[in-house]
Amino acid sequence: LIMGGAGYIGSHIVRLLLQSSDFIPIIFDNLVTGDKITIPEGVVFVEGDAKNEQLLIETMQKYQITGVIHLCAYSLVGESVANPLKYFENNVVGAISLLKAMNHVNIKHLVFSSTAATYGEPQKIPILETDPTVPINPYGQSKLMIEQMIRSLDINSICFRYFNVAGAALGVGEMHEPETHLIPVIIKASLNNKSMKQFGSDYPTEDGTCVRDYIHVLDLAEAHVLGMRYLLKTPNQKLILNLASQVGYSVKQIINAVKKVTPIEVIQEKRREGDPATLIADASKAFELLGWKAKLDVGEMVASAYNFHKNIE
């Protein structure tokens, strides 16, 4: 069962599962941020909200679900600060409803899409899974609460913590309204002949702009598939794994990568509140346990995202 299977990340996971011989994906999505056009022909789609426990139970029983990949959440940091209860209600209450439904039907395997926002301002780089979790916004807090709930239950689970997801593959890509993620923001601005804002050029980094760890959505989707495969053959797991390219790119480097495919005008703005200077994670544990590592670099993220947006704009 792919919770949020019509969304950006979910739609890529569904396509990878369809290519595999050992999984049949069932999509559950309320289409608030997901889109019906991403759902492949012939795939079972249940339109519903994660907070609808009864519908979840019926879906799990009807399709004899063996495992759940839980992706659906509100994920805008700024909005979570402005409207915390919206995030706690949707993300946390939705997860409680899902966990109750899983418990009712006795489903024991869960891959949870968490976030590196659970770490807050890291004390050191690269970030390890054992580092302190002190989230600095309600989005990160909501995801950490869900991690803690999952750990307290008798569930075979993996919580993935990852940073900035980008790129497009398999005919689907990022379609958020409004768009807040750096790579599509730059690309959409250039395709529509608009300028973009760059927040802060006085950070303690090499070129003064924020450094982030980016991960291609196809690499991320592959990790979720490997994670579920691992859980189905390995009992009693309560894992937390970072997913990352382990390479930091600055905002300026990303802008320059986009400039290679399309011109863009950049306007300098002051720093935004709550943006740490550098976020890079150590993902060696995911390699050790799942044999997973990021294969696609930032050039491929930018090129694939550009081609996707050029076709839909």
* No. of helices (H) and no. of strands (E), the chain: 11, 13
- pLDDT number for residue 313: 59
Task: Please give the Cα distance from 168 to 166 (Å, whole number).
Answer: 7
Measured torsion, CA atoms of residues 52, 56, 59, 60, in degrees rounded to the nearest 10:
-170
- Domain ranges within the chain, ordered by starting residue: 2-166+213-244
Q: Using CB atoms within 10 Å of the CB of residue 89, give its burial: 0 to 12 exposed, 13 to 18 middle, 19+ buried.
A: middle
Identify the three-state secondary structure at position 134. Answer: strand
- As a whole-number percent, the residues of the chain with pLDDT over 90 amount to 68
- pLDDT number for residue 312: 67
Q: Is 74 a catalytic residue?
A: no
Q: What is the mean pLDDT of the chain?
A: 91
DSSP 64-133: T--EEEE------HHHHHH-HHHHIIIIIIHHHHHHHHHHHHT--EEEEE--GGGSBS-SSSSBPTTS--
The answer to whether the pTM exceeds 0.75 is yes
> Mean pLDDT lowest for which of 91-95, 179-183, 206-210, 278-282?
179-183
Task: Please give the Cα distance from 111 to 107 (Å, whole number).
Answer: 12
pLDDT tens digits, residue range 152-205?
Answer: 999 999 999 998 888 877 767 666 565 666 777 777 777 777 777 888 899 999
- 184: tokens are 């599509």
Give the Cβ contact number of residue 204 at 10 Å. Answer: 8
Report whether 212 contacts 244 (CB < 8 A).
no
**Any bridge partners for residue 18, and if so which?**
none
Catalytic residue among 74, 139, 203, 230: 139
Which CATH number does the domain 2-166+213-244 belong to among 3.40.50.720, 1.10.1660.10, 3.40.50.300, 3.40.640.10?
3.40.50.720
Q: Collect all residues with Cβ–Cβ distance below 8 Å to 176 and sequence separation of at least 6.
A: 8, 33, 184
pLDDT tens digits, residue range 35-64?
Answer: 999 999 999 999 999 999 999 999 999 999
Element (H, E) at 231: helix 217-233
Measured torsion, CA atoms of residues 10, 11, 17, 23, in degrees rounded to the nearest 10:
60
Q: Mean pLDDT: which of 54-58, 208-212, 279-283 is highest?
A: 54-58
- Quickly state the pLDDT bin for 84 (edges 50, 70, 90): very high
> Mean pLDDT lowest for which of 107-116, 182-191, 228-237?
182-191
- pLDDT number for residue 175: 64
> Mean pLDDT lowest for which of 37-41, 170-174, 243-247, 248-252?
170-174
- pLDDT number for residue 180: 62
- pLDDT number for residue 264: 82
The residue with tokens 């993902």 is: 283
